[in-house]
């Protein structure tokens, strides 16, 4: 007597080809959403959430994070885009498109009776070969190209964004900002922390009026006009609590018989605040930054002492200022003895702090921080939607240049790497005598999807341009005299092929290698699934007498 799965578990089961096709269809549908936003001529998406907030972007990771994806396999692609964004910062759309293409071609092989294990094994072989080929044959040390390659890398990243028309201006700003925050870690390696660059947005003027400021800029002002506008050789107290009158907790009751006692109670509340402020100032602090409020009484004491107080600083900004100035963020003044004290060693140090005007608002700028150099990029634009997209664009560009500065290697862009890999893997597949060869050939064909989508989005004939590009790359790999052809990519503005390195279209080597690895691993994860069991939700237990 056979027993069905429905009799064993409380749920439904889908298996074999049905579940694989369902997963692949969901992933391809998700990739089709971001497909038209890919490349320098890609279009933007308008996303509206349940409360009506609008986001306009062509950044793959942002689009996918805003979509409420229900399908479990499609969620893998959303996580893939998030991982690429976290690890590299750029190339989020291409990694999703490549994963979807690998899935589509892998599923087609399964339908031709090729076992999924053979396909997975072939994909892994192709991935390893592709990554080693990029490192050995496609990668160019930036020492050969000079520092101009950094600006060109930033331009390539910005070209597909809303500020693409101002790529010259923003690419120089990005490179200068990153060079300013360079620092050596414990192992002696130079690192470029993007967190040291604060990006602020101010509505008004054009994007060309955006500027780079030396120092860490805060979108805050002094708590009082009576405080000094500028101080030098500052010691900064970093607080994560408010400096306001102490209020009695709810439920605390005083039995007062004499009106004088009420006056003494309020006076003691004031005195506690005064003692706290004096404690901080006596430690040597002449700047107080807090994430919470500073009331009028505390402000009065600060003005009298010539101290700058700034309230409502964001926690993330305060934490970075603590790292940069060598200070410590304090949650309370309480000590182990039950009293209150302030340790001067928790103070951060900087050369100067000042409040400076910008358009119709003012900013606090901290310069010459003790530990790490800092920089701020202040973006200008017509409205908040444009400014948010500009911020995402600048962040992606910062990430791309950071990877180039740390790895010191670039590859030609414009579909050059994908085409070169496709040609090489087709030749490599012929050397394999197993069924894995079929998967390697499909991997090679899947890589060509990237330049094809670029051409289609630029409104040109994909068949003609891709054929020209493949011919040049094949010649570059087989004829030593034509080796320079392996650097040719697409010119999407004129509908031609050109030398991407000479045209200044460069991308970080790490971005390409990681996107190939991540896309392959995501495709393998989904292809391995041959069973989908959906459990039924358990009914809520009914409690008698509680049906209100």
Q: Which residues are catalytic?
A: 59, 92-93, 396
C-alpha neighbours within 13 Å on the C-beta side of residue 109: 27
CA distance 416 to 499: 9
- For 370, the 3-state DSSP assignment is coil
User: 173 φ, ψ to 5°?
Assistant: -60, -45
Q: By the 8 A CB rule, do 495 and 120 touch?
A: no
Query: 3-state SS string over 391-424?
Result: HHHHHHHHHHHHHHHHHCEEEECCCHHHHHHHHH
Count other C-beta atoms under 10 Å from residue 264's C-beta: 12
191, β-bridge pairs: 183
Alpha helices in 48-141 (DSSP H): 60-66, 72-87, 92-111, 116-133
Under 8 Å between Cβ of 314 and 293: no
Per DSSP, 222 falls in state: B
Nearest to 169 by CA among 154, 181, 147: 154
The whole-angstrom separation of Cα 414 and Cα 505 is 7
Asked if residue 309 lies in contact with residue 223, where contact means CB atoms within 8 angstroms, the answer is yes
* 334 in Cβ contact with 322 (< 8 Å): no
How far is it, in rounded angstroms, from Cα 400 to Cα 59? Answer: 14
Buried b (16+ CB within 10 A) or exposed e, 411-429: bbbbbbbbbbbbbbbbebb
Contacts of 186 (CB under 8 A, 6+ apart): none
Three-state DSSP at 13 gives strand
Of 133, 134, 110, 94, nearest to 447 (Cα)?
Answer: 94
Alpha helices in 112-182 (DSSP H): 116-133, 142-145, 148-159, 167-180
- Chain-centre distance for alpha carbon 528: 29
Strands (E), 501-544: 506-508, 531-535
CB 96 within 8 A of CB 64: yes
Angstrom distance (rounded) from CA 262 to CA 89: 59
120's CB contacts (< 8 A; 6+ apart) are: 439, 524, 527, 528
Which residue matches tokens 């150099």?
373
For 220, list phi and psi in degrees, rounded to 5.
Answer: -140, 170
């Amino acid at each position: 007597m056979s027993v069905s799965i429905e009799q064993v578990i409380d749920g439904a089961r889908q298996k074999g080809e049905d579940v694989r096709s369902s997963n692949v269809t969901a992933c391809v549908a998700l990739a089709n959403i971001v497909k038209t936003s890919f490349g320098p001529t890609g279009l933007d998406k308008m996303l509206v959430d349940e409360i009506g907030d609008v986001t306009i972007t062509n950044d793959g990771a942002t689009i996918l994070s805003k979509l409420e994806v229900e399908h479990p396999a499609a969620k893998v692609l959303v996580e893939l885009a998030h991982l690429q964004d976290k690890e590299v910062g750029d190339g989020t759309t291409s990694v999703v498109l490549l994963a979807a293409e690998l899935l589509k071609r892998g599923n087609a092989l399964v339908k031709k009776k090729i076992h999924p294990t053979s396909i997975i094994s072939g994909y892994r072989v192709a991935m390893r070969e592709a990554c080693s080929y990029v490192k050995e044959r496609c990668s160019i040390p930036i020492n050969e190209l000079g520092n101009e390659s950094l600006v060109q890398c930033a331009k390539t990243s910005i070209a597909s964004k809303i500020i693409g028309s101002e790529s010259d201006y923003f690419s120089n700003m990005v490179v200068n900002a990153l060079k300013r925050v360079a620092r050596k870690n414990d192992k002696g390696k130079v690192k470029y922390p993007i967190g040291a660059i604060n990006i602020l947005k101010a509505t008004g003027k054009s994007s060309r009026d955006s500027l780079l400021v030396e120092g860490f800029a805060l979108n805050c002002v002094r708590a009082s006009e009576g405080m000094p506008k500028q101080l030098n050789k500052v010691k900064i107290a970093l607080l994560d609590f408010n400096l306001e009158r102490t209020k009695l907790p709810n439920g605390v009751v005083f039995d007062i018989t004499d009106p004088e006692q009420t006056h003494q109670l309020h006076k003691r509340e004031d005195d506690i605040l005064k003692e706290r402020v004096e404690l901080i100032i006596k430690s040597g602090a002449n700047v107080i930054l807090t994430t919470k409020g500073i009331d009028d009484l505390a402000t009065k004491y600060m003005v009298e002492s010539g101290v700058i107080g700034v309230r409502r600083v964001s926690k993330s900004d305060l934490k970075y200022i603590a790292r940069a100035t060598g200070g410590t963020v304090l949650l309370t003044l309480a000590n182990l003895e039950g009293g209150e004290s302030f340790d001067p060693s928790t103070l951060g140090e900087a050369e100067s702090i000042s409040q400076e005007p910008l358009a119709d608002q003012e900013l606090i700028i901290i310069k010459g921080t003790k530990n790490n150099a800092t920089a701020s990029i202040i973006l200008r634009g017509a409205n908040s939607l444009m400014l948010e997209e500009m911020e995402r664009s600048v962040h992606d560009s910062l990430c791309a240049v950071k990877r180039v500065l740390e790895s010191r290697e670039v590859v030609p862009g414009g579909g050059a790497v994908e085409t070169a890999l496709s040609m090489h893997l087709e030749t490599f597949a012929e050397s394999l005598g197993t069924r894995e060869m079929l998967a390697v050939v499909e991997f090679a064909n899947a890589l060509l999807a990237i330049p094809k989508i670029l051409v289609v989005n630029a409104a040109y004939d994909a068949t003609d341009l891709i054929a020209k590009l493949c011919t040049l790359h094949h010649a570059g790999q087989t004829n030593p005299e034509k080796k320079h052809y392996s650097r040719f990519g697409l010119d999407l503005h004129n509908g031609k092929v050109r030398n991407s390195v000479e045209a200044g279209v460069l991308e970080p080597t790490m971005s390409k290698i990681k996107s190939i690895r991540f896309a392959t691993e995501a495709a393998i994860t989904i292809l391995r699934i041959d069973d989908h069991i959906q459990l039924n939700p358990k009914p809520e237990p009914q409690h008698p007498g509680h049906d209100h």
